Amino acid sequence: MTVHASPFDLSGKTALVTGANTGIGQAIACALANAGASVVGVGRSAMDDTAALIEGKGGRFAAVKADLSDMKAVRGLMPRVTEACGRPDILVNNAGIIRRADAVDFTEEDWDAVMDVNLKSVFFLCQAFAAGALAENVPAKIINIASLLSFQGGIRIASYTAAKSGLAGLTRLLANEWAARGINVNAIAPGYIETNNTRALREDSERNTEILKRIPAGRWGKGEDLGGAAVFLASNASDYIHGAVLPVDGGWLAR
């Protein structure tokens, strides 16, 4: 009987994860590292905690500082990463921001800030990443971090909802263009996860109670709950999956 390597093994692969300093990005970076990938974290803030978590288990981590709200930085990111760490095989677009206000009061500044980081930078990072893979004719994986707001409207987060809805569409478009050329483009849609972005909701006792009542699993998700989905979509196990938006939401969308 022939023993084959696990289809989830990421040994020899390099994964670029944006927003890897805390929360979902940190958890995904750790999960990919645990599966054998070398991880390059990208963000504005220090990623010392993520480095310690990965390197403490014998993994490989490199940090690249970049402000993804700055298109000049976005355009220069892939060459910087490739020069320092080699061409990445996996791209996880996790970095994102949120602004809250009633739609009638929502400002242009808050609209543009969220759209630039959560959607515009994602497209151009995907473009630059894919260009490298296509030029070398090698397979690659893109994982975009979508949201329940890719499916639903939400309240008081107009630009976030628009960006995450756009991200789901962009994931499908890029899959249509690149699937036959060896690039898998998929997305994960986290449910209500304990992160800095959801602190305001968790600290609002009324909203927190309403949310928990709706989640069949009966709890808020943790960043670690997304790790398995990320490893799956980054690995050979997902080679025939293209354009999917996978909810990891404790059953929220099923109710």
252 and 215 in contact (C-beta within 8 Å)? yes
In this prediction, residue 200 carries a pLDDT of 86
The DSSP bridge partners found for residue 64 are 42
| C-alpha neighbours within 13 Å on the C-beta side of residue 77 | 32
Sort strands 38-43 and 61-65 into parallel, antiparallel or unpaired.
Answer: parallel
Average pLDDT, the chain: 96
Q: Is 124 helix (H, G, I), strand (E, B) or coil?
A: helix
The yes-or-no verdict on residue 1 having pLDDT over 80 is no
In this prediction, residue 4 carries a pLDDT of 56
pLDDT > 90 fraction of the chain, expressed in percent and rounded: 95
Tokens of 168: 């789901």
Supply the Cα-derived Rg of the chain in whole angstroms. Answer: 18
Q: Give the containing element (helix H, strand E) for 75.
A: helix 71-85
Tell me the pLDDT tens digit for each residue of 57-116.
Answer: 999 999 999 999 999 999 999 999 999 999 999 999 999 999 999 999 999 999 999 999
Give ∠ CA 246-57-232 in degrees, rounded to 5: 20
Q: Which residues are catalytic?
A: 160
202 and 194 in contact (C-beta within 8 Å)? yes
80 and 64 in contact (C-beta within 8 Å)? yes
What lies within 8 Å, CB to CB, of 10 at 6+ separation is: 32, 35, 36, 37, 90, 231, 234, 235
* Backbone phi, psi, residue 39, to 5°: -115, 135
Tokens of 149: 């707001």
Tell me the pLDDT tens digit for each residue of 236-253.
Answer: 999 999 999 999 999 999
Tell me the pLDDT tens digit for each residue of 9-60.
Answer: 999 999 999 999 999 999 999 999 999 999 999 999 999 999 999 999 999 9
Tell me the pLDDT tens digit for each residue of 189-203.
Answer: 999 999 887 898 899
Average of pLDDT values for 204-233?
Answer: 97
Q: Kindly list the strands in the beta sheet with 14-18, ordered across the sheet, starting from the edge strand earlier in the chain.
A: 61-65, 38-43, 14-18, 90-93, 140-145, 183-190, 245-248
The yes-or-no verdict on residue 2 having pLDDT over 70 is no
Domains by residue range for the chain, with CATH = 14-254 (3.40.50.720)
pTM of the model: 0.96
In this prediction, residue 27 carries a pLDDT of 98
Average of pLDDT values for 152-160?
Answer: 96
Closest alpha carbon to 26 in 12, 43, 9: 43
